């Protein structure tokens, strides 16, 4: 409506073949440029080669029935253990952080002004789609929304979730160990019981700190991607439609062959997730977590000459 007059938009014609081909070429060029940048940041010649090297290394790993727990490690001990390519939990690190002493009330009193972006609606089935539903708000509004509970939410809608956010004012309250030569910024994950990040894998080493509450993390090794129906979100992130907590083997029959293990993390735990390991994360209580992804050659490839040659020679 303009000056009280209703106007109608001219119908948009479908793109011509030339426009469609040009758009596809633009997407391909953008993808290639991003992959070159990702490879440069990680010091490898090819992200595709790095992915294949990780899966090749995983095929030599022993099968594990659970995730071991160890006390805090120094840098040398951590890197030696991580080079084995298996996940493990460390204790005695996160519980010393000032962030661990905060409460929900502390967030209300001191950080209510923080702008946040919440995942809303059915954010599991759209987890790796570009049009996932998000809602911008302040921290106080989010905490009030959570406090109101989930009654009245439409079917398939989960509790709203603050996932994968940079909340820089909280960074000074976290004392991350210097295990990696290059690492990305801390990301924060805050939400009530029932919030979930569906099964996926990142091709970067990952340190995951459980600050408050508890979570269930389902894990599967990198080379079992052939059983998990992965979909590429980008060159270093692949999602899976399979739910290891409620397996549908009629829909995903190959998933019967995937080896999944359960890991429970509680306050003060720090989980190392090696690059390429699939993981699904579900909050069992109101939880605050933080994680950081390394930005280098995954440690499992550190001393494997054959795998390094594979990375260097990949197209």
What is the C-alpha separation between 139 and 293, in angstroms, rounded?
A: 24
Q: What backbone torsions phi and psi does residue 67 show, to the nearest 5 degrees?
A: -100, 120
- Dihedral (CA of 255, 122, 113, 101) sign: negative
Give 287's contacts (C-beta < 8 A, 6+ positions apart). Answer: 189, 190, 191, 192, 193, 195, 210, 211, 212, 213, 214, 215
| DSSP percent split of the chain into helix, strand, coil, nearest 5 | 30, 25, 45
What's the mean per-residue pLDDT of the chain? 90
pLDDT tens-place string over residues 200-251: 999 999 999 999 999 999 999 999 999 999 999 999 999 999 999 999 999 9
HEC string for 190-246 = EECCCCEEEEEEECCCEEEEEEECCEEEEEECHHHHHHCCCEEEECCEEECCCCCCC
Provide CB contacts within 8 A for 157, sequence distance 6+.
120, 121, 122, 150
* DSSP assignment letter at 165: E
Share of the chain above pLDDT 70, in %: 87
Report the alpha-carbon distance of residue 120 to residue 47 in Å, rounded.
32
**CA 169 from chain center: how many Å?**
21
Q: Identify the three-state secondary structure at position 55.
A: helix
- What is the β-pairing status of strands 237-239 and 196-202? antiparallel
Tell me the mean pLDDT per 10 residues along the chain, length 315.
44 65 78 90 94 97 96 98 98 97 95 96 84 91 89 68 96 97 97 96 98 98 98 95 97 98 98 98 97 97 57 49
- Report the Cα 81 to chain-centroid distance in Å: 22
Write the burial class of residue 208 (CB in 10 Å: 0-12 exposed, 13-18 middle, 19+ buried): buried
Burial (Cβ within 10 Å: 0-12, 13-18, ≥19) of residue 6: exposed
pLDDT of residue 177: 97
pTM, full prediction? 0.88
Distance, in Å, from the CA atom of 46 to the CA atom of 314, rounded to the nearest integer, reads 6
* 243 and 280 Cβ atoms separated by less than 8 Å: yes
**pLDDT tens per residue across span 55-88:** 999 999 999 999 999 999 999 999 999 999 999 9
């Amino acid at each position: 409506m303009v000056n009280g007059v209703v106007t109608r938009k001219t119908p948009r014609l479908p793109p011509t073949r030339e426009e469609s081909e040009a758009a596809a070429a633009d997407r391909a060029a953008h993808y290639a440029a991003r992959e070159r940048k990702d490879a440069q940041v990680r010091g490898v010649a090819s992200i595709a080669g790095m992915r294949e090297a990780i899966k090749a290394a995983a095929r030599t790993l022993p099968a594990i029935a659970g995730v071991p727990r160890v006390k805090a490690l120094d840098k040398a001990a951590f890197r030696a253990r991580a080079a084995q390519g298996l996940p493990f939990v460390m204790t005695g690190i996160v519980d010393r952080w000032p962030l661990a002493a905060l409460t929900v009330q502390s967030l209300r009193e001191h950080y209510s002004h923080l702008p946040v972006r919440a995942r809303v609606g059915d954010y599991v089935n759209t987890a790796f789609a570009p049009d996932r539903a998000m809602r911008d708000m302040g921290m106080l509004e989010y905490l009030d929304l959570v406090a109101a509970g989930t009654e009245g939410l439409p079917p398939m809608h989960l509790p709203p979730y603050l996932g994968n956010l940079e909340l820089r004012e909280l960074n000074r309250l976290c004392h991350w160990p210097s295990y990696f030569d290059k690492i990305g910024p801390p990301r924060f994950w805050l939400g009530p019981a029932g919030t979930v990040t569906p099964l996926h894998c990142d091709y970067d080493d990952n340190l995951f700190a459980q600050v408050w509450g508890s979570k269930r993390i389902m894990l599967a090794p990198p080379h079992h991607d052939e059983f998990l129906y992965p979909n590429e979100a980008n060159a270093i992130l692949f999602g899976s439609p399979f739910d290891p907590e409620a397996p549908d083997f009629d829909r995903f029959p190959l998933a019967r062959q995937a080896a999944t293990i359960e890991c429970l993390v509680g306050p003060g735990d720090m989980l190392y997730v090696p690059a390429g390991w699939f993981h699904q994360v579900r909050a069992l209580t109101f939880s605050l977590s933080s994680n950081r992804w390394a930005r280098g050659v995954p440690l499992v490839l550190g001393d494997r000459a054959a795998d390094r040659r594979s990375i260097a020679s990949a197209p």
